[in-house]
Amino acid sequence: MPIQAISWSPSGAVRIIDQRALPDAELTRDLESAESVADAIRQLQVRGAPLIGIAAAMGLVAATRHQRSASRADFVARAQDVAALLGASRPTAVNLRWALARMLRVAEETPGEGSDLWERLRAEATAIWEEDRAMCRRIGEHGLTLLADGANVLTHCNTGALATGGIGTALAPIYLAHEQGRKVHVYVDETRPLLQGSRLTMWELVHAGISCTLITDATAATLMRQAKIDVVLVGADRICANGDFANKIGTYGLAVLARHHGVPFYCAAPWSTVDVALADGDLIPIEQRSPAEVTMIAGRPIAPDQATALNPAFDVTPARYVTGFVTDRGIVQPPFSGES
């Protein structure tokens, strides 16, 4: 059964798989309010740049469903307040603000009163979700050309169905290769400190029956040196106009290693992740998360109580290290513009 990370609940709330519980348990949660959606995004119950954009759009709808009898002015004001709250939940992924800006634009352009606007917003949020599912498929189709039968792929963090509305970004070509009967093996970085690779990507791949091996992050260099990696596929949370991109911390190091060992390095993302308003990676805001995520694992300390820790959630990979960008529009090269 395909993984569905998000859906509407019967009550009109946003239903998610709580990704903090994986792989121990597959729990679903219904997010009834803007505050609960924002908290779920901050606490990584729902994560992945495309998915948090979808969750924010759906969250705006869930949070305004009790204002359907409001006047147009009051409904729009409420929608703007909700969008501001949701937009502040995480700073790095551009899809979050892209989806909310699209929703607010639709609200402002739709004629009628509160009920009319709400119905249109619900349709728009569903459209964002469905479009993402289709974009994932196209990313997979374009990326499939990179995976020969027998390919060994290295991936980082989680870029599959748990991070999107469909089959993923960097995992999408792998899913399609498996679907076509190609023998592909995936080496999965554990992805410290929150272990999205071991907890989430391994869970997805095992669930799908795809051949995979979990490795510590530091093992990637040795595998490249031993010529056991044919291609590196990673996702992105924001891609700048010049091709610099932000992704889960550790991505930059993989890119440098891949260049040194002559391994092709591709970034896979929907076009909504491209932020043409940012010239280069120095302008990307990098989320700083709690030091406790580094000093503790599963609630148990792994460092002295007095230890300090640095915990940037993302790093920036310069465009010069990227072989190509696998998007729903094809495999492309920077620079990017609104007309690209």
Could you give the residue numbers annotated as active site?
237
Q: Which residues of 257-277 are buried (b: 16+ CB within 10 A; e: fewer)?
A: bbeebebebbbbbbbbbbbee
Three-class SS of residue 57?
A: helix
The amino acid present at 232, given as its one-letter code, is: V
Other beta carbons within 10 angstroms of residue 288's beta carbon come to 12
- Separation between Cα atoms, residue 213 and residue 215, nearest integer Å: 6
Q: Tokens 């740049």 identify what position?
A: 49
Q: Tokens 């406790």 identify what position?
A: 292
H-assigned helices in the chain: 34-42, 49-64, 72-87, 94-109, 114-143, 172-179, 196, 202-208, 220-225, 251-261, 292-295
CA distances 268 to 42, 72, 164, 172, 181, Å, are 23, 40, 12, 9, 22
Q: Helix 72-87 vs helix 34-42: angle between axes, to the nearest 10 degrees?
A: 20
- Separation between Cα atoms, residue 202 and residue 206, nearest integer Å: 6
Three-class SS of residue 169?
A: coil
